[in-house]
Amino acid sequence: MIVEMRTGAAREEIDAVVEKAKSLDLGVQLNLGTDKVVVALLGSNTGQIPTDMFAVLPGVESVTRIMKPYKLASREFSPGNTVVDCGGVKIGGERIVVMAGPCAVENETQLMQAAAAVKKAGASVLRGGAFKPRTSPFSFQGLQKKGLELLARARQQFNMPVVTEVVNPQEVNLVASFADMLQIGSRNMQNFALLTDAGRSRRPVVLKRGFSCTITEWLTAADYLLAEGSNQVVLCERGIRTFEDSVRFSLDISAVPVIKKNSHLPIIVDPSHAAGHYSLVPAIARAAVAAGADGLLIEVHPNPKEALVDGLQSLSLSDFARLMEELRTIARSVGRSL
């Protein structure tokens, strides 16, 4: 941590910074510049000390953190690539994993049709929402427990692991008893109560990026999951909020190489929520694979026109099959399979 003193800061002000640092067991080195005094604070846990503790002292101009605030999710903590096991499917290895299915589970026919088709086209995990976090209380909230039961039936019938969202700490155990992997949605990325309970569930977790959270905040949120003792966490980039209005969210393609550089966790991409329109999904999905993503999470619906939720961003079964063909070629061109 670097503490920059104001021009002309008094000797006692500098001393107070040094003392505070020592009281926290930090090492201290003073840099007496021509214009300014700069105090470097050294220690292995400065990433976890709030900068405010120094910024608030008299005579301090600014405090800059050099250590990242996340720890367990960092590549420095675990240099190799973590592989996550979702019901036997490995995420983070050579093979790119496609998770596909309807945004919301609506009924048995819809789910089974979708599951059969995505399996046939090459998807290896079935996705489907039972508990839906909706922006309006007057919108369809999901089939809830009945949705979970349908997902479990589809898993058995098609021999595919299942991932589904959990939105309430009180429902973590219920969801974990049906699903192979839990999903934490974008609006819950900083719902720390939910993260803690999901981390304790012993299920692997897909942690979607908060649509306005930095990558640093995302990895720090992952620390909540990892702090419970498991390393089975998959990150999912799903678009960030920007000023651009031709898409629902702007997919942050740079997040893929940035995560690969700073973290050991696998990263997948959800092109559906970012695009908000089925016609844009294939280009974004191809880009994600080329950029190095470890997987994709794609919304597919047997009849998008009749979907209860997010029909516009869902691929039809035939569009999905066609996209899988394209992705297979691109995966090969970056030395992976799909």
The verdict on 229 binding a second copy (CB under 8 A) reads no
Site residues for a second copy, 112-141, by CB under 8 A, read 133-139
The verdict on 220 binding a second copy (CB under 8 A) reads yes
Question: Are residues 54 and 62 in contact, defined by beta-carbon separation less than 8 angstroms?
Answer: no
For a second copy, the closer of residues 230 and 250 by Cβ is 250
The verdict on 169 binding a second copy (CB under 8 A) reads yes
The verdict on 173 binding a second copy (CB under 8 A) reads no
For a second copy, the closer of residues 26 and 115 by Cβ is 26
Q: How far is the CB of 1 from a second copy (least distance, A)?
A: 10
- Provide CB contacts within 8 A for 272, sequence distance 6+: 103, 281, 297, 298, 299, 310, 313, 314, 315
For a second copy, the closer of residues 50 and 88 by Cβ is 50
Q: Are strands 2-5 and 60-64 parallel, antiparallel or unpaired?
A: antiparallel
Q: Which two tokens stand for residue 312?
A: 């516009």
The verdict on 22 binding a second copy (CB under 8 A) reads no
**For residue 275, what are the CA distances in angstroms to 239, 245, 265, 312?**
8, 11, 24, 10
Closest C-alpha to 81, from 236, 304, 328, 294: 294
Q: How far is the CB of 221 from a second copy (least distance, A)?
A: 7
d(C-alpha 203, C-alpha 98), whole Å: 19
The verdict on 256 binding a second copy (CB under 8 A) reads yes
Q: How far is the CB of 197 from a second copy (least distance, A)?
A: 9
Q: Which two tokens stand for residue 332?
A: 């090969």
Q: How far is the CB of 269 from a second copy (least distance, A)?
A: 10
Site residues for a second copy, 280-309, by CB under 8 A, read 280, 282-284, 286-292, 304-305, 307, 309
Query: Binding a second copy by CB under 8 A: which of 15, 31, 157, 159?
Result: 31
Q: What angle do CA 143, 174, 98 make, to 5 degrees?
A: 70
d(C-alpha 267, C-alpha 276), whole Å: 20
Q: How far is the CB of 218 from a second copy (least distance, A)?
A: 10
Q: How far is the CB of 272 from a second copy (least distance, A)?
A: 12
118 burial (CB, 10 Å; 0-12 / 13-18 / 19+) is: buried
For a second copy, the closer of residues 112 and 330 by Cβ is 330
The verdict on 78 binding a second copy (CB under 8 A) reads no
Query: Binding a second copy by CB under 8 A: which of 15, 29, 94, 109?
Result: 29
The verdict on 10 binding a second copy (CB under 8 A) reads no
The verdict on 14 binding a second copy (CB under 8 A) reads no
The verdict on 261 binding a second copy (CB under 8 A) reads yes
159 burial (CB, 10 Å; 0-12 / 13-18 / 19+) is: exposed
Query: Binding a second copy by CB under 8 A: which of 53, 112, 152, 174?
Result: 53
Query: Binding a second copy by CB under 8 A: which of 109, 192, 202, 337?
Result: 192
At position 102, the amino acid (one-letter code) is P
- Provide CB contacts within 8 A for 81, sequence distance 6+: 92, 264, 266
d(C-alpha 165, C-alpha 67), whole Å: 32
Strand partners, 205: 182, 233
